Structure 1
Amino acid sequence: MTHFKLTTLTSVAALALAACATVPAAPDSTVTPRVEGALISAENAGVTDAAVPKDWWRLYNSPELDSLVQTALANNRTLAGAAANLEQVRAGLTEARSALLPSTTATASGQYARDPSFAPGDVETDVYSLGFQTNYEVDIFGRVSASIDAARQDAAAAEAAYQAASLMVAGETARAWIDYCAGNIQLETAESNYGLQEETLGLTRTLFDAGRGIRLDVVQAEAALRRAEADIPSVRAARDAALFRLARLTGQTPREMSQAVPACESMPQLVSLLPTGESAALLARRPDVRQAELQLAGAAARVGIATANLYPSVSIGGSVSTASLGGTGDLFKEDGLSFGIGPLISWNFPNVAASRARLKSAEAGVDIALANFDETFLTALEEAEVALTNYAAEKERYTALEASAAASEEAAQLARTRYRAGSANFLSVLDAERTFIETRTSLVQSEAAKASAEINVFMAMGGGWAD
């Protein structure tokens, strides 16, 4: 009767204390409610609010690019590390969930022992024992559930981190492919410029040999040829650097990549307007923003763990054991059997101060996570606005350079015609050709920059990685 009363009083006290243990929800951001409507730079960027597909690189309708991105997603080593980290965190979630199940311990021993408490004449004998214990923690104060919630948020955050890494790998692979294609085009342009200067040098020599030119024209044409020749190695090196970057991103060696890289003689082009989806809504689902939000939720769950640690740990345990002297045949006889069952309360009074300090630390962790979430969200907004602004500016620049390149090409042709006819000096030819070469080179660079800006927009908007 006394045992029953003690158990009842213990249960009542535990339930009363449980009413005092509260787990706070993750605090709301002060930044996200202030975001309204579409991004301000979207209006001038010439984009569409169509949904961004997860495999957005297919919008370029380039089998070569699609193959490279798929290879990178399968073989990239950074992504492999993120996947392993995800599996590790998921294992932690499984471990946390195991606290919902009772723990069990089985023991068995056999020894030769001397003990005066043995029966007379059996001071020294063989002693055998078997035991089985089980223990189940009653989650009155929410420590177990808070631990599981924290582990669940950690696993979801790790998955978001993996998706962020996937987005980065896909985007950087697409950018490296664009740089490689641009390198090929720029190399072709540099070699074409060299050929143009060769023709000009040949023309000046012909006119000089015919007595219609001067030696200065020949020397200046030769200097222009050497300048054009000097541009080729650096352009080739930039193209090769993009190739080597592709190798790393796809998990290959530079030699393997150089032997397997597809041919690319033109810049990949989007088959439609650049889609951004509903800007603000899609932005809020960026993997890194979602990761920061989940980390905030996990920090709040850890406050629940620290709060529960201020209260006693209540568990129900049971045990069964048997022992025999002299042989194993008596192990399962009734007179050697013992058992016990009942509640166990553990409350670490001397370390309440330490528990309160851990609670303060957990609450500060929530503040840190909230600040990180707000900063991540503001950074995402900045990146999206900057990406759209740069994309709009590069499109405008490219359009102007197209017109400039066409005009400068015509001017160079007219200058050469007039020089050949003797109605213009060679200085005007050099100036016109230099302008044409610089403008044509800038046009190729602008086309590459515009394509890279498209990739930046896809990545800044989350790349469609919403699930």
Structure 2
Amino acid sequence: MYKLKLNRYTVLLAVTLAAAGCKVPEAAAPAANQPVPESFAGSRDTTNSSVLPWKSFFKDPYLTDLIDTALKNNQELMVTLQDIEIAKNDIRMRKSALLPSVGLRAGAELEKVGRYTSQGAGDASTEIYEGKEVPDPLANFTLAATANWEIDIWKKLRNAKKAAISRYLSSVEGKNFVLTNLIAEVANSYYELQSLDTQLDIVHQNIKLQKNALEIVKVQKQAMRATELAVQKFRAEVLSSQSKEFDILQQIKEEENNLNLLLGRYPQEIKRDKGDFLTLQPMAINSGIPAQLLANRPDIKQAELELAAAKLDVKVARAEFYPSLDISAAVGLEAFKPSYLFKLPKSLLYSLAGDLAGPLVNRNAIKAEFNSANARQLQSMFNYQRILLNAYMEVSTQLSKIDNLGKSYDLRSQQVDALNTSISVSNDLFKSARADYFEVMMTQRDALETKLDLVETKKAQFNAVVNVYKQLGGGWR
């Protein structure tokens, strides 16, 4: 059997469909991107710390070991890697749509039509006589290869494949963005632990100092130079500091658990440098120029690729307005008896058909999909612009923060030195009865709070540097 559905009526229908498909809505043109500023705070230096691998940026061996563990075990990162596999499989699926779909078909059927039907009355083979070759009921056995192929006239399938590739590359950049954030989270948590260790040491030193003052005021009470009020006030200060000690121990435990969660493991002690945190110096940072953000920040590149995919989706949706050409073919063997199935050429069957079809009257569904694709394209454009603007703002804010924290730390250091001196002076004056217990107590309290604030400022310096490194796009290389 040979069948070719392509005659003058089909050609006339094709012309009609093509004419109907010509009137398609235009895609809304996204607004042009605003150019990024030329520099951060007037600096034109193109040296950029984000190009440094994280193992070169972070020098602490304990920290680098923790980051390495997190990159192997973090569950969020594992989830993101599966997103990449999903996107990769989508590309394979889109590629296969460009190729013919070929299959094998084997079938058997049995049909008995009524004698007094239009088919039965017109079929002479239904007459019963000796040695007939056509049985009744009539069986049919088929063994054939079939193929179906949509000809990609309007590049609909190719654009769909390109969109899938863009989304795959976007998922890779999404993984890089997770890497950057994960490394920054581990580093900030590590510095939080170091700052808490230092705060705990300061509280221990303060408790020792307060206990010494308590013993002095007890002696002075026995000598009638102080009152029970002074003794109780100093005892209350000691108890307050001891309570603060357990608050800090709880914060350390919580931060260790948070860090272990990032590392993908159950709670255990975090190995770290427990030296004097205040003597450490934050890593030097070079911001480069804003234009480098486009190449270095994974979230910007991810948004750019999503925008490219959204633009291709609009082209795919637009192609739905045009006629589509499908070709189907089959070749194989067919007979009403299995013994006749391989008697060639009488049992040979083949067919070839071409179908040209397109929307003519009711195109509302196609219009709705096109409008949705166009809206998603605009969403992607606005999202890209938002991420780019946010990236510049983040870096600018953190660079300013680094500068101001440096100045603040210098002043707080001088304040701590002055209060340390005032503690010695107040103790000497108290022993000689030239200062009362309240002045000594307030001086010790001010010194403790200022030292803890100094540690917080040092931690904020490290956090700001880590955040700039992340916001410049560092860590994923």
TM-score band by shorter chain is: 0.7 to 0.9
1:32 match? 34
TM-fit CA distance, 1:141: 0.6
- Which has the higher Rg, Structure 1 or Structure 2? 2
Whole-Å Cα distance in 1 between the matches of residues 466 and 379 of structure 2?
31
Are 1:250 and 2:263 matched, yes or no?
yes
CA separation in 2, counterparts of 1:61 and 1:30?
A: 42
Offset from partner CA, 1:394-425 (integer Å, 9 cap, x none): 22211111111111101111211222233333
Q: CA deviation at 1:37?
A: 1.3
Structure 1 counterpart of 2:187, from 153, 174, 197: 174
Q: Percent identity?
A: 23
User: Are residues 1:233 and 2:246 paired?
Assistant: yes
| Aligned equivalent of 1:192 | 205
Farther-moved stretch of structure 1 (377-386 vs 176-185): 377-386
Between the aligned partners of 1:415 and 1:229, the Cα distance in structure 2 is 22
The residue correspondences of 1:336-351 to structure 2 (distance < 5 A) are 336-351=347-362
Q: Secondary structure at the match of 2:226?
A: coil
More off after superposition, 128-137 vs 207-216: 207-216
> Unpaired segments of 5 or more residues in structure 2?
114-119, 126-131
Q: Quick check: 2:5–2:353 contact (8 Å CA) kept in 1?
A: no
Using the size of structure 2 for normalisation, the TM-score is 0.86
Partner-residue secondary structure (3-state), 1:251: coil
SS at match of 1:381: helix
Q: What does 1:390-401 correspond to in 2, within 5 Å?
A: 390-401=401-412
Q: Residues 21 and 360 of structure 2 are in contact (CA less than 8 Å); yes or no, is this contact kept in structure 1?
A: no
1:49 and 2:60 matched: no
Q: 2:307, 2:377 within 8 Å by CA — same for their partners in 1?
A: yes
Alignment match, 1:387: 398
Is the 1:306–1:362 Cα contact (8 Å) retained in structure 2? yes
What is residue 165 of structure 1 aligned with on the other side? 178
Describe the superposition over 1:305-338 as per-residue Cα deviations: whole angstroms up to 9, x where unpaired: 1111111111333210211232246335210102
Give the superposition deviation at 1:157.
1.6
Once the two structures are TM-superposed, the CA of residue 213 in structure 1 deviates from its matched residue by 3.4
Residue 443 of structure 1: aligned partner: 454
Deviation of 1:13 after TM superposition, in Å, equals 5.9
Q: String of CA shifts for 1:364-401, please: whole Å, max 9, x gaps.
A: 22112111111222222222222222222222211111
What letter matches 2:41 in structure 1?
I
Secondary structure, aligned partner of 1:331: coil
Report the Cα distance in structure 2 between the residues aligned to 1:10 and 1:54, rounded to whole angstroms: 65
Counterpart amino acid of 1:161? G
Q: Is the 8 A contact 1:398 1:443 kept in 2?
A: yes
Structure 1 residues 415 and 280, CA, compared in 2 at 3 Å: closer, same or farther? farther
Counterpart of 2:309 (choices 272, 278, 298) is 298
Residue 59 (structure 1) aligns with? 57
CA deviation after TM superposition for structure 1 residue 271, in Å = 6.9
Q: Who is 2:377 aligned against? A: 366
Equivalents in 2 of 1:273, 1:18: separation in Å?
Answer: 65
Moved more, 52-61 or 4-13: 4-13
Aligned partner of 1:127: which letter?
A: N
Structure 1 stretch displaced more, 343-352 or 379-388: 343-352
**SS of residue paired to 1:183:** helix
Q: Out of 71, 74, 84, which is 2:72 matched to?
A: 74
- 1:32–1:54 distance in 2 versus 1, CA, 3 Å: farther
Alignment-mate amino acid for residue 32 of structure 1: Q
In the TM superposition, residue 112 of structure 1 has moved relative to its aligned partner by 4.9
Task: Tell me how far apart the structure 2 counterparts of residues 106 and 149 of structure 1 sit (CA, whole Å).
Answer: 30
Determine the C-alpha separation between the residues in 1 that align with 2:224 and 2:295: 73
Are 2:21 and 2:323, in contact at CA under 8 Å, matched by a contact in 1?
no
Residue of structure 2 in register with 1:95 after alignment: 93
Which residue identity does 1:151 align to in structure 2? A
Secondary structure at 1:335 match in 2:
coil
Segments of structure 1 that go 5 or more residues without pairing to the other structure are none
Deviation at 1:298, TM superposition (A): 1.1
Report the CA distance between 1:58 and its aligned residue: 4.1
Partner of residue 163 from structure 2, selected from 142, 146, 150: 150
Aligned counterpart for 1:201 among listed residues 190, 209, 214 = 214
1:335 aligns with 2:346: yes
Q: Give the residue type in structure 2 aligned to 1:85.
A: D
Q: Residue 140 of structure 2: which of 95, 109, 127 is its match?
A: 127
Out of 192-201 and 312-321, give the one that drifted further. Answer: 312-321
Asked whether the 8 Å contact 2:17–2:359 carries over to 1, the reply is no
| Aligned partner of residue 410 in structure 2, secondary structure | helix
Q: 1:371 to 1:266 in 2, by over 3 A?
A: same
Distance 1:148 1:11 in 2: 29
Counterpart amino acid of residue 210 in structure 2 = Q
3-state SS of paired residue (1:340): strand
TM-aligned CA distance change 1:58 to 1:271, over 3 Å: farther
The alignment partner of 2:143 has SS state of: strand
| Mapped pair 1:423 → 2:434 | yes
Contact 1:284 1:377 in 2 (8 A): no
1:26–1:300 Cα contact (<8 Å) kept: no
Q: Is contact 1:318-1:339 (8 Å) kept?
A: yes
How big is the shift at 1:349?
Answer: 2.6
In the TM superposition, what is the alpha-carbon distance from 1:137 to its structure 2 partner? 2.1
Deviation at 1:91, TM superposition (A): 0.9
- Taking the aligned partners of 2:352 and 2:286, their CA distance within structure 1 comes to 65
- Asked whether the 8 Å contact 1:76–1:250 carries over to 2, the reply is yes
Asked if 2 retains the 8 angstrom alpha-carbon contact of 1:48 and 1:273, the reply is no
Amino acid at match of 2:274: C
Per the alignment, do residues 354 and 22 of structure 1 end up closer, same or farther by CA in structure 2, a change over 3 Å counting?
Answer: closer
What amino acid sits opposite 1:148 in the alignment? K
Is residue 156–residue 316 contact of structure 2 (8 Å, CA) maintained in 1? yes
Tell me the SS of whatever aligns to 1:109: strand
Secondary structure, aligned partner of 2:284: coil
